[in-house]
């Protein structure tokens, strides 16, 4: 049976609102101009209403774009909860875009996801990793990258296309709207012991998205080679460090989606199949337009 998911309010509400008040009070001096506040208002309205923007976001230098993203995340916190991990994706110039993944964005196989009439939704496949309980920062620097992680989790990412066409690959604009990440549907994880990491994560990891009739909509493979994966992790850690953050114990990390993805239809059931040396995992989910009753 499918379950309908909605953002929930919880015990994060009071803390998030208090932090939000502090950030909003500081926003004027932090931005140094009205441009940052205008961009935040645009991003927040688009994310909340799930409407594609009528106007492009103002051009922003990197530090200010990240600040807008942080304020957006804080505004969303009362409904979406705190940061539980990060998604790495690439802008048109291949610069890494780091998106914050919030607790209530996650659901599991069997979910029904609401579409939005005001923006297109894009479905992508990916492999998510969970940071070991001892964390990464305290790990042995000489250890292989895959020993930082305790689980491999199949994942479906659903994004709202909130940006105008001319900005959809722009690093600054993608950062300010948190890349439009709306849902993450997770399958059953595989536990990775330190001795198994090399065999599992260096092997081909296949994923395929199919419609209800079995037609392939999107596919991809692998977390890439050791060097590329390590490079992505190092870059992610450096970008988080520049923001005063780090990868914490049990954080979820998605090193990059597989392929360009496929549009999510208004209604219907989809199946994603993920294959590893340890076996296969399916993720089944459905799309539902809000006015379908």
d(CA 132, CA 144): 13
The pLDDT of residue 10 is: 37
pLDDT-derived band at 78, boundaries 50, 70, 90: very high
Tell which phi-psi region holds residue 217, choosing left (phi > 0), alpha (psi between -120 and 50) or beta: alpha
Tell me the pLDDT tens digit for each residue of 30-67: 454 688 999 999 999 999 999 999 999 999 999 999 99
- 258: tokens are 């597989």
**Residue-averaged pLDDT of the chain:** 84
- 202: tokens are 């260096």
Number of Cβ atoms within 10 Å of the Cβ of 271: 17
**Which residue do the tokens 């600054």 mark?**
172
The pLDDT of residue 13 is: 39
The pLDDT of residue 254 is: 94
- 82: tokens are 């705190």
The DSSP bridge partners found for residue 123 are: 158, 262
How far is it between the farthest Cα atoms of the chain? 55
3-292 homologous superfamily: Fumarylacetoacetase-like, C-terminal domain (3.90.850.10)
The pLDDT of residue 290 is: 76
The pLDDT of residue 19 is: 43
Task: Please report, for residues 30, 60, 100, 261, 263, the alpha-carbon distance to residue 66 in angstroms, rounded to integers and kept in the order given.
Answer: 12, 9, 11, 25, 27
- How far apart are the two ends of the chain, measured CA to CA in Å? 17
């Amino acid at each position: 049976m499918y379950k309908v998911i909605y953002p929930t309010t919880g015990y994060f509400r009071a803390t998030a609102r208090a932090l939000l008040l502090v950030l909003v009070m500081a926003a004027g001096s932090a931005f140094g101009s009205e441009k940052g506040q205008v961009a935040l208002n645009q991003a927040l309205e688009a994310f909340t209403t799930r409407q594609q923007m009528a106007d492009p976001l103002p051009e922003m230098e990197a530090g200010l774009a990240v600040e807008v993203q942080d304020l957006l995340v804080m505004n969303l916190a009362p409904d979406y909860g705190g940061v539980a991990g990060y998604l790495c994706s690439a802008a048109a110039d291949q610069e890494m875009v780091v998106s914050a993944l919030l607790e209530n964005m996650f659901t599991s196989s069997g979910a029904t996801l609401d579409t939005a009439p005001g923006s297109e939704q894009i479905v992508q496949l990916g492999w998510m990793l969970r940071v070991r309980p001892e964390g990464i920062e305290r790990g042995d620097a000489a250890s292989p990258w895959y020993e930082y992680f305790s689980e491999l989790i199949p994942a479906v990412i659903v994004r709202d296309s909130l940006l105008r066409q001319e900005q959809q690959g722009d690093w600054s604009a993608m950062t300010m709207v948190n890349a439009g990440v709306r849902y993450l549907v997770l399958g059953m994880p595989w536990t990775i012991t330190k001795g198994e990491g090399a065999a599992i994560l260096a092997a081909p990891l296949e994923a395929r998205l199919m419609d209800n009739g079995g037609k392939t909509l999107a596919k991809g493979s692998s977390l890439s080679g050791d060097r590329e994966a390590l490079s992505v992790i190092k870059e992610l850690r450096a970008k988080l460090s520049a923001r005063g953050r780090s990868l914490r114990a049990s954080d979820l990390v998605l090193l990059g989606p597989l392929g360009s993805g496929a549009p999510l239809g208004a209604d219907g059931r989809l199946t994603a199949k993920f294959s590893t040396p340890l076996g296969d995992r399916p993720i089944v989910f459905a799309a539902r337009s809000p006015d379908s009753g």
